[in-house]
Structures are given as C-alpha cells and as structure tokens.
Structure 1
Amino acid sequence: MAKLADIGAKARSKNAGPFWVTIDVFCNSPEAFATLRKVIRNDMVAGLFKVDPHSLKRFEIASLNVIKISVPRPTVQGSRFDRDMHGAQAAVLLSELELPF
C-alpha cells in the first residue's frame, strides 16, 4: 500500500476556526493531483477522523494541484479537552493513511 509521500504529495493542516480543521494536500505534479483526487475519498477521510462523511468540506484546486479538506473538530478549540489547539496534527493522520492502489 502507498502513502501520500509515495505519490508525490505532502499534507499540512491548520486551525480553521474554533469548530474546523483544514488539511491541505499539496501535489508536486498534475498527475499526482489527478491520482489523489480519485483515491482520497470522503468516506476514507471521515472514517479516519471519525466524523460523518456529509460533514466534510472538500475543495479541489487543479490550477494549484491542491486538495483541501475541512473536517469538524472533535471538540471546540481551546476547550479543556482539546488536544491539538492549532490543528497541526491532523496532517500526520492523513499522511500515514494507506491508499488503495
């Protein structure tokens, strides 16, 4: 099984407000973008983050070879149960996801 780095992509995540985290998948070529936009499915991402697939927000920007996925935070940012105040750890989960090829 392949991972994002094997395809030629890097993931970065960031806080997108108190209720959302956004993960950007930067592809190093149009070919990698075309492959990953088909392979990274919403149901896979939803399962990874344990959220409803219908709650995801997904944007594919072909001119930049970027896939942006926003997921609801499991807890409100800054609450005492928040384990990732800046949303930076979400990218690691997506980067390590085994992609079906």
Structure 2
Amino acid sequence: MVKIRDVCRHVRSKNAGPFWVTVDLFFDGPENYRAYHGNASLSPDLFRDLFGTDPALVKKIPVKDLNMVKISYPRATPQGGMEERDMHSGQQYVRLLDIELS
C-alpha cells in the first residue's frame, strides 16, 4: 500500500490559532491528488486516533488548484499551556507520514 510520504511532495503542520492545528498535504501532482485527496484513510477518525481530537470538529478542505488538502483540527490543549509539547505545532505532521492510503 502507498503511504502519505510516497504521494506528497510536502507535508506540514502549523498553528491555526491557539486552539487549532492545520495540516497541509501537498500531493506531488494532479494524478496523486485525484487518486488520494478524498481517501477514506484521511477520515476524521484518523485524527481522533492520532491526536485525540473530536472527529466531529475536523475540517477537511481540498484545494484542487494547488493539488493539496488542508485539514484542521482542535488542539488537545491550548497553545502555550502547561501540557504543551509543540508550541507551534510544527512537528505534528510526522505522525501522518506513514499512514497507508487505500
């Protein structure tokens, strides 16, 4: 099976305010975008399992012109809180790289 790292030229995560994180999946071309942007493996349940977020709040926004998908989810704890381990959410994408796409 193909993994996210195999079909994306760039994957990043970042703050989307103090209460949200955004992950951007830049596919390596229109063919892979068409094949995988709506993949069932990228469901809200994946973000519940990986990041402990409420799947009902996960937002998925396809951006066809850029061959990318933007996925936003609420942070488990607010940015800068006592339990914070990644202040800018710049390392959150790593958990997604080995996710297999069907």
- TM-score per shorter chain, which class? 0.7 to 0.9
Q: Percent identity?
A: 43
Cα offset, 1:35, TM superposition: 1.8
Q: Does 1:21 align with 2:21?
A: yes
TM-score, normalising length: structure 2: 0.87
C-alpha change, 1:98 and 1:61, in structure 2 (3 Å) is same
Partner-residue secondary structure (3-state), 1:38? coil
The 5-angstrom pairing of residues 1-101 of structure 1 reads 1-39=1-39, 40-99=42-101, 101=102
Secondary structure (helix, strand or coil) at the match of 1:51 reads coil
Q: Number of residue pairs matched?
A: 100
Secondary structure in 2 matching 1:80? coil
Please list every run of 5 or more consecutive structure 2 residues that lacks an aligned counterpart in the other structure.
Answer: none
State how far apart, in whole Å, the 2-side matches of 1:45 and 1:31 are: 25
The answer to whether the 8 A contact 1:10-1:95 is kept is no
Measured in 2, the distance between the counterparts of 1:10 and 1:3 equals 13
**Which amino acid is 2:11 matched to?**
A
TM normalised by structure 1 equals 0.88
Runs of 4+ with deviation above 4 angstroms: none
Cα pair 1:4 1:10 within 8 Å, conserved = no
The secondary structure found in structure 1 opposite 2:38 is helix
Q: Deviations over 1:49-94 (max 9, x none)?
A: 2222111111101011110001111111001110110001111111
Structure (1/2) with the larger strand percentage = 2
Secondary structure, counterpart of 1:10 in structure 2: strand
